[in-house]
Amino acid sequence: MSWLNEFVRPKIRKLVGKKDVPDNLWQKCPSCEQMLFHRELSDNLHVCHACGHHLRLAAKDRLTLLFDNGEFTGVGFAAVTADPLKFRDNRRYTDRLKDAKNKSGEKEAILVGHGTVSGQNAVIAAFDFGFMGGSMGQAVGEGLLSAARAAIDANAALIVVPASGGARMQEGMLSLIQMPRTILAVEQVREAGLPYIVILTDPTTGGVSASFAMIGDIQIAEPGANIGFAGKRVIRDTIREELPEGFQTSESLLDHGMLDMVVPRSEMRATVGNVLALLRDGRTKRSSESGIPVAGISATNNAQIAAAANRADGK
């Protein structure tokens, strides 16, 4: 039989040609459980057409979505020791890393690019939740540092898009050190007089929400994202009280003054571009304040931009 497998089958495959069919044609919406066809989903920027739920995006898709025409130059970062603690739980950390790399096609849980967002010069660092829960280890810290340096070198704004469960436990203390490290990187961007914008996506928790992710000049979030430090269940069991509905969602954080705006994915690029123009030269300020709609941005969003700009001016 071996000649069938080794000789005939490859010949037939070659003849027929490998069909380019994705593994998962259908995906279930995590919110309303509607079955979503992959093509419709990608046409709709991975937002459920039935309930508006914003599904998670891979880092590469995020950069493509935010940069003009999906074009950007990749920003590399220094290599780190792969498994400094020789960590092993029920599996080796190195094996988990290998799997994550194969599955995501990325080297780490962060991807950095330089380009323009609605014509504004920007460096974007996007997290990939699919890569070990977007956890922040040494490599992710390096990625953020490189992003900050690239922004300063190119006189560009720094935009970070977290999607992370927090620190990478397999790197122990070395991952916790990334918290102050990334804050210092942001400080350098500030000292250079450049804007720093955070776009919080689902989920942003733990050591990531406790460091660079909450100190943007302007804090934006996608609708319905889970944002917090400790998980809901942990908090409920600690304080022994029922938590209000919508606890730790973007909308509740906006109501409680933790965010400047909640922006749907379809309006994100135009909004970020407008915010950057406003912060860098005040060009669009008048149009925002007078309520004249800016292309691609809804009226509510426009009002939020004006309010956020006034707050940033007061800083």
Residues at the site binding Zn ion, with contacts judged by CB under 5 A: 29, 31-32, 34, 48, 50-51, 53
Q: Tell the smallest beta-carbon distance from residue 222 to Zn ion (Å).
A: 14
Q: Tell the smallest beta-carbon distance from residue 54 to Zn ion (Å).
A: 10
Closer to Zn ion at the Cβ: 36 or 163? 36
- Using omega within 30 degrees of 0 as the cis cutoff, is the peptide bond preceding 223 cis? no
CB-count burial class (<10 Å; 0-12, 13-18, 19+) for 174: middle
Could you say which DSSP state residue 123 is in?
Answer: E
Q: Tell the smallest beta-carbon distance from residue 104 to Zn ion (Å).
A: 24
Q: 16: how many CB neighbours lie within 10 A of its CB?
A: 8
Closer to Zn ion at the Cβ: 33 or 313? 33
Q: Tell the smallest beta-carbon distance from residue 162 to Zn ion (Å).
A: 23
Instruction: Quote the CA–CA distance of 247 and 198 in Å, as a whole number.
Output: 20
Closer to Zn ion at the Cβ: 53 or 168? 53
Between vectors from CA 196 to CA 156 and to CA 172, what angle results, nearest 5°? Answer: 115
Closer to Zn ion at the Cβ: 36 or 263? 36
Closer to Zn ion at the Cβ: 51 or 85? 51
Q: Tell the smallest beta-carbon distance from residue 301 to Zn ion (Å).
A: 22
Instruction: Quote the CA–CA distance of 30 and 143 in Å, as a whole number.
Output: 30
Structure tokens at 112: 């950095």
Cα 11 to the chain's mean position, in Å?
43
